[in-house]
């Protein structure tokens, strides 16, 4: 039963990743059709991120009321409906409308699933499960690239992913009894001893809470900026075709996927803090390759290394949350962490869209480097603050 439930959680993480890279890979083909500037991808990304912020902040209350299984099934169903809505949209404003349930469906499930895994499984499982997110995120651009290169329009790429999400929704609904009968760790039992959901001002007062929020803000900023703009960067700087660029952009997500697969094994010997530092160093090397005047093959290598570097950062910080803040506060803190991450998603990729539109898309690696420096500073501060209270 435990293994079957774990397999269901793997599927849920795949479903989280599938839509995340679609907009970036499809946008070079989408924006000319709608007659909008290239920077308008940031508007859609912002709406999706705002929805995830709202639902993440409510994750503690929603999960306590309905449970992780029901929250996951409902959220995937909302995402499936939104993706189908994208596929039948004929105007930019229709995309903005469907972006609302798209975002709302992502926030609660992300926070709820991550807390469930952090409480019940070892760090290696968190890395491997987020590897499954990378599998989904890697397949997204390939499916879109297949649709574009096969004579279909971008709509077909969204429609295919929507159908996959619908199938996953059915599987999740069937699996609901497993969540009730699944094994519960001592940490999970401890997490339920708290009187009720923490208020936001109470969370902010916890030592290290602000630092971990800023770390997540910066991490998602670098991940989503890369995912959203890598395809456009390759197209405009190296003058390669849109369909080829969509495939190349998936290299970033392939790097994340492979990196998280290996990270699971490395966590057996290295703790979460060391894994995060390893990821920061690898990301730095990838960004530096993009900064140097190499050809498109070097740019491809740089994207893979950035993905490899991003791989351990997100899951290892999440897994350390119960240790840093206590199991009784972990769901509330993870919910705020997710909200902070999506605020980063909301603000930073659109900001680069403005920079690319008004100055140059060539500033892409400089932008990523600045965000990486902030990640390092905030994570080190987090470790100092939480070490002082142990």
**Domains, the chain, with CATH or none:** 2-175+197-388 (1.20.1250.20)
pLDDT, average across residues 76-94: 91
pLDDT, average across residues 138-157: 82
- Which carries the bigger pLDDT value, residue 233 or residue 95? 95
Q: Rounded distance, CA 384 to CA 229, Å?
A: 34
Q: Rounded distance, CA 217 to CA 200, Å?
A: 17
Q: pLDDT at position 196, please?
A: 58
Q: Rounded distance, CA 371 to CA 286, Å?
A: 14
pLDDT tens per residue, range 167-202: 988 988 888 888 765 545 444 554 455 545 677 777
Say if CB 382 and CB 208 are below 8 A apart: yes
Q: pLDDT at position 264, please?
A: 85
Q: pLDDT at position 125, please?
A: 78
Q: pLDDT at position 187, please?
A: 46
**Cα atoms found within 13 Å of the Cα of residue 71, Cβ hemisphere only:** 27
Lowest mean pLDDT among 45-49, 69-73, 117-121, 125-129: 117-121
pLDDT, average across residues 50-78: 82
pLDDT, average across residues 348-358: 87
pLDDT tens per residue, range 12-36: 888 778 887 788 788 888 888 888 8
List phi, psi (to 5°) of 280: -65, -40
Question: 297, exposed or middle or buried, with CB in 10 Å at 0-12, 13-18, 19+?
Answer: exposed
pLDDT, average across residues 151-155: 82
Reduced DSSP (H G I as helix, E B as strand, rest coil) percent helix, strand, coil of the chain, to 5? 85, 0, 15
pLDDT at 277 over 90: yes
Rounded percentage of the chain residues whose pLDDT exceeds 70 = 92
pLDDT at 4 over 50: yes
């Amino acid at each position: 039963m435990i293994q079957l439930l774990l397999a269901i959680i793997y599927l849920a993480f795949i479903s989280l990743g599938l839509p995340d890279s679609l907009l970036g890979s499809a946008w070079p083909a989408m924006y000319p059709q709608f007659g909008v500037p290239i920077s308008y991808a940031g508007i859609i990304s912002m709406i999706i991120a705002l929805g995830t912020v709202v639902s993440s902040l409510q994750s503690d209350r929603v999960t306590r009321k309905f449970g992780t299984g029901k929250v996951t099934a409902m959220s995937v169903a909302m995402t499936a409906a939104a993706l189908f809505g994208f596929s039948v949209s004929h105007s930019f404003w229709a995309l903005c409308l469907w972006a609302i349930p798209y975002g709302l469906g992502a926030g609660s499930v992300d926070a709820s699933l991550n807390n469930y895994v952090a409480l019940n499984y070892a760090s290696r499982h968190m890395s491997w499960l987020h590897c499954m997110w990378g599998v989904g995120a890697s397949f997204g651009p390939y499916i879109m690239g297949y649709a574009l290169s096969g004579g279909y329009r971008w709509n077909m790429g969204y429609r295919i992913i929507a159908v996959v999400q619908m199938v996953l929704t059915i599987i999740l609904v069937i699996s609901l009894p497993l969540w009730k009968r699944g094994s519960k760790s001592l940490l999970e039992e401890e997490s339920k001893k708290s009187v009720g959901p923490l208020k936001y001002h109470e969370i902010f007062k916890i030592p290290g809470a602000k630092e971990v929020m800023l770390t997540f803000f910066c991490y998602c900023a670098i991940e989503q900026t890369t995912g959203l703009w890598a395809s456009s960067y390759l197209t405009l700087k190296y003058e390669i075709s849109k369909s080829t660029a969509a495939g190349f952009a998936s290299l970033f997500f392939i790097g994340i996927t492979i990196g998280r697969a290996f990270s699971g094994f490395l966590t057996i010997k290295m703790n979460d803090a060391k894994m995060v530092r390893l990821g920061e160093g690898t990301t730095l090397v990838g960004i530096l390759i993009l900064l140097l005047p190499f050809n498109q093959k070097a740019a491809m290598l740089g994207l893979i290394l950035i993905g490899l570097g991003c791989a351990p950062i997100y899951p290892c910080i999440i897994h350390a949350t119960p240790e840093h803040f206590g199991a009784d506060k972990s769901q509330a803190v993870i919910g705020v962490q997710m909200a902070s991450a999506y605020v980063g998603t909301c603000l930073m990729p659109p900001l680069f869209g403005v920079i690319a539109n008004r100055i140059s898309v060539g500033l892409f690696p400089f932008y990523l480097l600045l965000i990486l420096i902030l990640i390092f500073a905030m994570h080190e501060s987090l470790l100092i603050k939480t070490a002082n209270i142990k």
